[in-house]
Amino acid sequence: MAKSVTFSVFRYDPEQGRKPHYTDYQVDIERPGMMVLDGLNQIRWRQDGTLAYRRSCREGVCGSDGINVNGVNMLSCITHIEDLKDPIVVQPLPSMPVIKDLVVDLTDFYEKFYLVKPYLITKGPPPSDRERLQTPEQRKLLDGLYECILCACCTTSCPSYWADPEYLGPSALLNAWRFIVDSRDDGADERLEIINNRNGAWRCHTILNCVEACPKLLNPTEAIGQIKKTIVQRKF
Domain ranges of the chain: 4-104, 107-235
Give CATH superfamily name and number for 4-104: Beta-grasp domain (3.10.20.30)
Show Cβ contacts of residue 107 under 8 Å, excluding neighbours closer than 6 positions: none
The CATH number of the domain covering residues in 107-235: 1.10.1060.10
Q: Are 219 and 211 in contact (CB under 8 A)?
A: yes
β strands within the chain, DSSP E: 4-11, 21-28, 66-69, 72-75, 88-91, 98-100, 103-104
| Total-model pTM | 0.93
Confidence of residue 2 (pLDDT cuts 50, 70, 90): low
Q: What is the mean pLDDT of residues 8-15?
A: 96
Q: What is the mean pLDDT of residues 195-212?
A: 97
Show Cβ contacts of residue 5 under 8 Å, excluding neighbours closer than 6 positions: 26, 27, 29, 39, 81, 84, 86, 87, 88
pLDDT per residue as tens digits for the range 75-131: 999 999 999 999 999 999 999 999 999 999 999 999 999 999 999 999 988 888 888
Q: Are 181 and 158 in contact (CB under 8 A)?
A: no
Q: What is the mean pLDDT of residues 13-17?
A: 88
pLDDT at position 217 is: 98
Count of CB atoms situated within 10 Å of the CB of 191: 23
pLDDT per residue as tens digits for the range 209-227: 999 999 999 999 999 999 9
Establish whether domains 4-104 and 107-235 are of one fold.
no
